[in-house]
Structures are given as structure tokens and as C-alpha cells.
Structure 1
Amino acid sequence: MSQSAPALGPVRLDADAGAKLSALRRTKFIATASLALCILIFALAKSFEGRFPWLGFVAAFAEAATIGGLADWYAVVALFKRPLGLPIPHTAIIPANQTRIADNLGRFIEVNFLAPEPVREKLAEVDFSALVADWLADPNRAAGLSHFVSRLVPQTLAAVEQSGLRGFVTSRMLEQVEKIPLAPLFADLLSTLTDDRRHQKLFDEFIKVIGRFLNDEQALATMREKIREELPSLFNLFRADAYLLKKIVASAGSLLDEVRADPDHPMRAEFDRFAETFIDRLRTSKQYARRAEKLKHDFLERPELKALAGDMWASLSLFIEQDAKAPNSMIRAHLTEMFVEVGRHLADDAQIRADMNQGFVVALASFVDSQKSGVSKFIADQVKRWDLAQLTRLIEMNIGRDLQYIRFNGMIIGGIAGVVIYVAERLFLAS
């Protein structure tokens, strides 16, 4: 027996340990009394066998029953202790083999109870997703979970900041953006605008800008000055610059009114062709692609972009931290609603529940499989550390009553065998 670990305190017994112990003692008493009765009957039968020959059968039964009862008493007692305290070999079997019993018990549980197939079958009987759905659908539980999550978010953000994960993620994101071809992306984006002629709204805004420009006194003064510089001095004497400016503004204003009022105006069609041509060049022109990539690269290299990202992260962290401390946190409210909604959707979607249950089974079965050797060793170590007297008492209390019936069976079978032998002997001597 291993002595490497100190013995634990008394083994914790079942709630009905008292009833088991009383039943064991009662059965022991009856078995011992039966053995004493067999001895008494044997003695009496032998004493009066001369006067009553039929008592020979009783004596034969009682004698063999006594021998069988004594042999089985010895066998049962030898399991737990040394009979009569004598140092007889191969007795006190359970105490002498505590270490082996502990190791075999651990291996038995590992092989038979923690094998992959039985564990998977047992786990498959549990509807984990239904438990999760019911738990999340409860508003009070969802609120508690959202409160827990909201308290963790600021700490998580701080940990991300201190670990350098934010910089790593930002650099990885920029690398991925760098790999995206910009020209085709813009072409697809502009195509969604031109499919239903929404780009014409942009053209309308452009017309409004030109209209405001033509009504701006300062802009008109600048245009008149440019016209005066281009005209010969003689024309300026007759105020030709003012006349030309007036005609230009009037013609341009009239043209803008026509374009604004006519959805099929030729200028709109020309703008359509311009947009289609530009989109096609974005998709096919290598020169446009190079320019777009250069613009993208220059934009991503701008220090202002990194500073903006840092400011956005700081603002987000500050907002989350303040909101998490607020009594009426918006984050907690939205999280609670989200958890409740997830629980309801999960309860209604059988396919998702089936997938979740399968995932739980795989994950938990893998965990059990990876830890079962540790469970086996833990059980073995605990059994090895049990006090020998308590261990013996625990085993005897749970199976000892059944073992006492072996003594009854030994006396009965032994007595029957004794009678059979006695009859055979009488028949042999008579012949």
C-alpha cells in the first residue's frame, strides 16, 4: 500500500448510512445465530442418534451446514480483515490492495464511463440550446448578463490598448485595404448610382451651384474684370464688358432653366455619356487604376489618418466607459434587448438549435476526452488517501449485507450436500 499521501479524514457516508449499517449488523447477527444453531442441532442430533436413528440425517445436515457456514464466514471476513486477528496469508484483501483497487477503479471509470461514444450519447440527450434560449429569453437574466458584459467592456478596451492589439489590428486592416483594387470598386459604386439615373441629382446640384454663382455680385464683378482685360480699350469706352457679361449671364441662366425643366435635355444625355465613359475607364484603364492606387496609398500614409483613428478610439473608449457607469446605460439596454431577442429567435429556429447542440456535444465530448485521464487519476488518488478503516467500513456497509447471504447459502448448500453424502454412505454400506 502506498504511503506517499497522508490519509484523509473520515469518508463521507450516504444520507441513509445509518439504515445500511443497521441492516448489515442485523444480517450479520442472523447469520452468526444460524451458524450457532447449526452447531447446537449437530450436537443434539449426535447425542440422540442412538435412540432415534433418523436423527442421523439431521446430524449430517447440521454438520455440513456448520462446515459450509464456517468456510463462507472465513471467506467473507478475509475480504475486509484478518479472521480472528491471525496473520493468515491472502486475508484482509481489500485493505492490502487499496492502491491496486484505487488504480483499477480509476481506469474502470475512465474506460467504461468516460469513453467517447457513451459520453457523446449522453450529451446528445441534453437540449443545450433550449436551455440557453430559455435563459436568454428571461428579461431579468438578460439584464444581468448585459450588466456583466458592460462592466467587462471598458476593461477589455483598456487591455486591448495596453497589449498593443489595437495597433496590430489597425495595421492589419490598412494592409487589407491596401490590397483592395480601388478603381473597380469605385466603378461598381458609381454603377449603382447610374442604374436608375440617380447621378442626375448630382447634375441638378451642379446646376444649382452654377445658378448661385451667376447671381453672386462678387463673382460677376470678377467675371466683368476678366472680360475688360481681354477686350480692346476702345470697346471698354462703350461699356462693352457690361453688355457682354449681361448677355453671358442671361444666356447661361436661360440654358440652366431649360436643363432644369427638361429631364431629357441633351446636356443631361451628355452627362450620362460622360458618367458611363468614366465608369468604363475606371474598370478597364490601367492609367486610371494606377492613379487610383496612388491616391489610395497617399491617403493611407497620411499622418492625419492615424491621428484620426487614435482620436476615434479614445472617444469610443471614453463613451463606453461613461455609459457603462451611467444608471440608465444605453449599452446595457441595447444588450438586454439583443439577448432577449436572440433567445426568442433561438427558441423558434430548430435548425440553429440542432447545430448548437451538435457544437456543444463536440466541444464537451472533446473536453471530457482530454480530461478523462486526469479524472481517473483524481479518483485513484482520492481512494488511495482514504483511511483504511473508513474505506473498509464504506465497502462493507454497501455490499456486506449481500456477502452475509453467502453464509446462509453456504449453510444451506453445505447441509444439502451433507445429507446427500450421508444417504450415499448408508446406501453403500447397506449394499
Structure 2
Amino acid sequence: MADHEALADARELLPEERLKQAALRRTKAIATGALVLCVAVFLAARAFQTNWPMLSYVAAFAEAAAIGGLADWYAVVALFRRPLGLPIPHTAIIPANKDRIASNLGRFIEVNFLAPEPVRAKLQQVDFAQMVADWLTDRARSDELSRFVGRIAPQALTAVEGSGVGDFVTRRLVDQLDKIKIAPLAADMLGAITADRRHQRLLDEILVMLGGFLRDEAALDALRDKIRDELPSLARFFRADAYLLKKIVASASTLITEVNAAPDHPLRAEFDQFVEKFISELRTSAEYEMRADKLKRDLLARPELKTLATSFWESLRVFIEQDINENDSVVRRHLTDMFVEVGRQLAAEPRIRAEMNEGFVVALSSFVEVQKSGVAAFIGDQVRSWDIVQLTRLIELNIGRDLQYIRFNGMLIGGLAGLVLHIADRLLFTN
């Protein structure tokens, strides 16, 4: 026992452990003193009970109290060590059963603390989503997160390039694009443009272009030559080409001016009808669909598309690597703003937080359910690995003082029992 005490004292105790140890020693001293007092009272009462017969009752109480206190002392000591160092069976119970205690402790925690119901109930009390929102809205933390993401992003892109994921994504993108019907999509896009007559701007640009053509001398000379080539010789002799060109230019200029000045000009209405008819045919015509699909397949089959995808990954990685090392990094700044905004939006959306919390509960409770056997085994292994002297001292420091009160109770109950038996003996067997 002395060796155990020396080994236990070898480790420097924490301040709170010193207080517990001092209280335990005081309680032990008081309990031992009370036991010695009971023995002394018993001896004194026995010595003088011939002269004072009533002392027999005191002697009976003190004798039984001493026996009860001694028995409880033995029981308390037997929990932690062998009483007086004697190899008495069923003593040093805690050291002798350390492995069983370790296994039972792990199993007890697994069954009672890591059961699905209490784990889910405890997890449901925690607002994980709010914690995430509060963490993200702290700009300093979001900035650190953006720095971390910026550091690993180039590595992730490099890994993507080397793993073939980039080629896989490119192929998947091409496959998805190949499934898209170009003609109906183009018809829908044109339909959105013509919904508020924005296509009339195209007509305006065409008219501007025609007006510029009519004012271009070289273009007019080419048109005059073309007219002359189509006229009979007699008409060319009378310079009919110049007259016709003049009339054509004048008529066209007048028409352009009128169309530009009148939003409801008939030519604009005819252009509306032309565009509407084209959109309708584009949406329903098999010929247009065939032509659009051929154009799409030709485009997707070009080798430049793969080169473009590879170049995109490389350019993105280089840009991030260069930008992330700048003091005023654009990527990092935008990432930080995004994280902060996500935190604010999350804090303002109780429904989303509730769904996130439910997801956290399901994920964490499932994780605990899968790992709880491992946790129990870990706890058992840790307890088994503890130094037995330290383990015994730890338990004794925390519950030993309460156990000493068992000795007081043993002396009191034993004394009262001895007194009752002595009184019964006098009443029943004394004449």
C-alpha cells in the first residue's frame, strides 16, 4: 500500500485534486479517530461497569460501534487495495477488475448515452445552421476561408487536369449539347426578341446601311454599270442608265426616309410578318431543323473545341494562381463577399436553416450510430491503458470522502444495533 501511495504521489496533483486529497485525509483521520474513541469508550465502560452497571449499555453501544466501524473500514479499503497488505480474497476490487470495469463502462456509455433517441434529441437542441451563418458573417473568418479555398483551388484544378475529369466534363458537355434542338431554341430566342418589337432595330440598321450605300459614289458607279449592261444599245445611247439610277436612288431614299419617320409604316408591318413567318418555320420546319443540327454537329466535331476546353482549365488555373498571391486578390475578395452574403442570407431564412439542421441531425446521428461501438471500444481501451495506481487514486479522490461516511454510519448503526441487542438480552435473560 505504501508503494502505491508513493507511485500515486509521484504525479504532481492538480490544485483541485490537492483540495480533494486534503479533504479525504481529514475525513479519514476523523473516521479513524472515531473508531479509536469507540474502542476507548468500550474499554473504559467495561472497566467501571461493576461499580456503575448502567455503563454496560455504553459498553454494548461502543463495542458494536467499534465492530461496525472496523467492518466498514475493511469494506471501504477493500475497494481500492488489500487491507494491511494481506492477500485476502475479494479485496483490491477495483484494481483486480480493471478490465471488466473498462468493458462495462464502454458498453454502458454506448447503450445509455449513444442510443439513437437521446443522441437525436440532443442534436436537435443545437442550431447548427445558425452557427454556420454566424461564422460566415464574420468577415475575418470568411476572409480566412477564402484564402484557404484560394490556396487549394489551383491544386484542385491541377488534379482535375491530370485525372481526366476535364476530358470527362468536356465529353459530357458535348453530349448534352448534342441533345439540344437548335432550331426550336433559336426560334424561342428570336421570339423573345420580337416580343417587344426589338427586331425593328435590325430593320433600322438595314435602312441605315442602304442609305450609306446610296450615298457611296463607288457603289453607285457599280450600280450604273450594272444597269447599263442590262439596257439595249439605243437606251445606252440616250444615257438612260443615268436617268434610271437617279430615279432608283431618289425612290429608295424617299422610302428609307418614310420608313424611318413612321413607326407604323407598311414596310415595317411586312418586316414583322416576315420575321414571324421565319420564326414559325424555324420552330416547325424539318428542313430548318436538319440544317441546324448539321451545323451543330459540325461545330461540335471540330478539334478546336477540345483544345478550347483544355485551354480553359489551364487559363483558369494560371489566373487563380497569379491572382490569389496578390495583396488585393480579386478572387479572394469576391469569395469573401460571397461567403459573408451566404451567411447573411442563411441567417435570414429560418426555413432553410431548419432543413439544414435536420440534415445535420440525420448525418451526425447516423455517424454516431455507426461509430458508437468504436467509441465504446476506445473508452474501454483507454481505461485499460491507465496506470492502475493512478486510476485507483483518481476514483478514491472523487468518491473516497463519501465512502468514509460509510464508516461513520457503520459505527452509528452498529452501536444502535448492539445497544438494542444488549437491552433485549437484559429483558429476556436477566432474572
Q: TM-score, normalised by structure 2?
A: 0.91
Q: Distance in 1 between matches of 2:110 and 2:328?
A: 51
Cα distance change, pair 317–225 in 1 and its aligned pair in 2 (3 A): farther
Once the two structures are superposed, what CA deviation does each residue of 1:57-89 show, in whole Å capped at 9, x if it has no partner? 111111211221122112111111122222222
Shift of 1:132: 2.9
Quote the Cα distance in structure 2 between the aligned partners of 1:259 and 1:204. 9
Q: How do 1:29-428 residues align onto structure 2 when only pairs under 5 Å count?
A: 29-428=29-428
* Cα deviation code 1:200-237 (max 9, x no counterpart): 11111122222223333333333333333333344333
Taking the aligned partners of 2:139 and 2:285, their CA distance within structure 1 comes to: 57
The amino acid that maps onto 2:334 is H
Distance 1:168 1:192 in 2: 34
Whole-Å separation in 1 of the counterparts to 2:166 and 2:259: 51
Shift of 1:10: 8.0
Question: Could you report, residue by residue, the CA deviation over 1:153-189 in whole angstroms, capped at 9, with x for unpaired residues?
Answer: 2222222222222221121122112222222222221
- The SS at the match of 1:50 is coil
**Closer/same/farther in 2, CA of residues 165 and 277 from structure 1, 3 Å limit:** same
TM-score in terms of structure 1 length: 0.91
Is the alpha carbon distance of 1:322 and 1:223 closer, same or farther for their aligned partners in structure 2, counting shifts above 3 Å? same
Distance change in 2, residues 1:246/1:310 (3 Å): farther
The whole-number CA distance in structure 2 between the counterparts of 1:251 and 1:187 is 34
How many Å separate the matches in 1 of 2:78 and 2:399?
14
Cα distance in 1 for partners of 2:39, 2:91 equals: 25
**Alpha-carbon distance between aligned partners in 1 of 2:311 and 2:72, rounded to the nearest angstrom:** 87
Judge conservation of contact 1:129–1:356 (CA < 8 Å) in 2.
Answer: yes
Is 2:182–2:289's contact at 8 Å kept on the other side of the alignment? yes
Q: Distance in 1 between matches of 2:221 and 2:306?
A: 43
Aligned AA (2:138): D
Bigger CA drift: 124-133 or 178-187?
124-133
Which runs of 5 or more residues in structure 2 are unaligned?
Answer: 1-8
Q: Give yes or no for contact 2:161–2:313 (8 Å, CA) kept in 1.
A: no
Give the aligned CA root-mean-square deviation in angstroms: 2.3
Q: Does the Cα contact within 8 Å between 2:64 and 2:418 map onto a contact in 1? A: yes
- Write the letter of the residue equivalent to 2:310: G
Instruction: Map 1:8-19 onto structure 2 (within 5 A).
Output: 15-19=15-19
For 1:98 and 1:64, the matched residues in 2 are separated by 34
| Aligned pairs, number | 423
What one-letter code is carried by the residue in structure 2 that aligns with 1:344? R
Residue 343 of structure 1 aligns to a residue in which SS? helix
Aligned counterparts of 1:227 and 1:260: Cα–Cα separation in 2: 27
406 and 370 in structure 1: CA distance in 2 versus 1, 3 angstrom threshold: same
- The question of whether the paired residues in 1 share the 8 Å contact of 2:157 and 2:317 is answered with yes
Give the Cα separation in 1 of the matches to 2:137 and 2:49: 86
Partner deviation per Cα, 1:384-406 (whole Å, 9 max, x = no partner): 01111111111111111111111
Distance (whole Å) between structure 2 residues aligned to residue 13 and residue 197 of structure 1 = 87
Q: Distance in 1 between matches of 2:309 and 2:229?
A: 49
Alpha carbons of structure 1 residues 395 and 10: separation in structure 2 relative to 1, 3 Å: farther
Tell me if the contact between 1:102 and 1:384 (Cα under 8 Å) persists in the aligned partners: yes
Letter in 1 for 2:150: S
> Which of 360-369 and 64-73 deviates more?
360-369
- Report % sequence identity: 64
Q: Which residue of 1 aligns with 2:6?
A: none
Shift of 1:272: 1.2
Distance in 1 between the 2:355 and 2:364 partners?
A: 14
Q: Which amino acid aligns with 2:98?
A: Q
Show CA shifts across 1:348-370 (max 9, x none).
33333333333333333333333
AA partner of residue 266 (structure 2): P
Q: Deviations over 1:253-290 (max 9, x none)?
A: 22222222222222211111122122222332333222
